[in-house]
Amino acid sequence: MKKFIQYIAVLTLCFTSCKKIIEVDTNNAAAQIVIEGNITDQLIDQQIVISKTVGYDEKGIYPKVSGATVIVTDDKGSRYMFMEKTPGVYVQAMRGISGNTYSLNVSVEGKTYTASSKMPNRVKLDSIGVVTNSFFGNERKTAAAYLVDPENETNFYHFNLYVNNLFSRRVYVNNDRLTNGNKLRIQLYYESDDDDDDGLKSGDKISVEAESIDSNIFDYWYTLSQQSGRGPNQGTTPANPPSNISNNALGYFSAHTYQKLSTEVK
């Protein structure tokens, strides 16, 4: 909608609609613990990453937190001890199973953080492709994921898009509230670091990671997606996404299925 309002502004003889960098008055908070934990259904080194926040105007180099005790258990009685592989990155080779609930227990700097997440059933990512849309007079190519949503359950999806191995800075998250049981084509608009987004070009290599996530993790990604690219005064009032981790830690702990497909833009 924001794009659309700008478009109207241009049409209503606004020759000078513009953007500029401004100084804003805001205080930096003390560093907070950030935990990002993923358990997938692949037999790989599963990762729990612990880091800290920095001031919003500081360089984006996030301090890693070492020396934590990281344990994951499941509701079938298994217990996995995670080891610190590089500073702040805790790993354990294991494979998650759909239907199991995984619990995370992190002890660090005198505090304990817990979270749990139930790994949903895997919904098959049938294929990925490229869709051409006409958008305000421009032909734009975008990536798309194809899958069939199961009718008998509530599903939540999260996608990651890579173009020429560069990660797209946009949160792709869907649920089946309005699309339950249908053949879906989910379009993933590429967003690069620079603002000039011309879509995909012939020869671009694209890969899509598809995750079936649980409802708490959907809320987490959905809140982020509502905020990205909008900012204060328009759109929703920004807030920290609802984390499923206790003790006010930022981040999330997600048990999800994982699939990846790649293709080349023709």
Q: Which helix (H) or strand (E) element contains residue 80? A: strand 79-86
Contact of 206 with 160, CB cutoff 8 Å: no
Distance CA(45)–CA(101), nearest Å, equals: 18
Q: Which of 226, 246, 260, 261 binds other proteins (CB under 8 A)?
A: 226
| Ranges within 147-176 binding other proteins (CB under 8 A) | 160, 167, 169, 171
Residues in the interface with other proteins (CB under 8 A) total 89
Q: Which of 42, 47, 54, 73 binds other proteins (CB under 8 A)?
A: 54
CB-based burial of residue 20 (10 Å sphere; 0-12 exposed, 13-18 middle, 19+ buried)?
Answer: exposed
Q: Which of 135, 247, 262, 264 binds other proteins (CB under 8 A)?
A: 135
The answer to whether 196 contacts other proteins (rule: CB under 8 A) is no
Pairing between β-strand 205-212 and β-strand 183-188 as defined by DSSP bridges: unpaired
| Ranges within 63-82 binding other proteins (CB under 8 A) | none
| Ranges within 12-41 binding other proteins (CB under 8 A) | 12-29, 31-32, 34, 36
Contact of 184 with 148, CB cutoff 8 Å: yes
| Residue 259 tokens, joined | 């699939």
Q: Which of 42, 62, 98, 207 binds other proteins (CB under 8 A)?
A: 62
Q: Which of 110, 193, 196, 203 binds other proteins (CB under 8 A)?
A: 193
Q: Distances in Å between the alpha carbon of 127 and those of 149, 163, 184?
A: 13, 16, 11
The answer to whether 182 contacts other proteins (rule: CB under 8 A) is yes
Q: Which of 97, 154, 189, 235 binds other proteins (CB under 8 A)?
A: 235
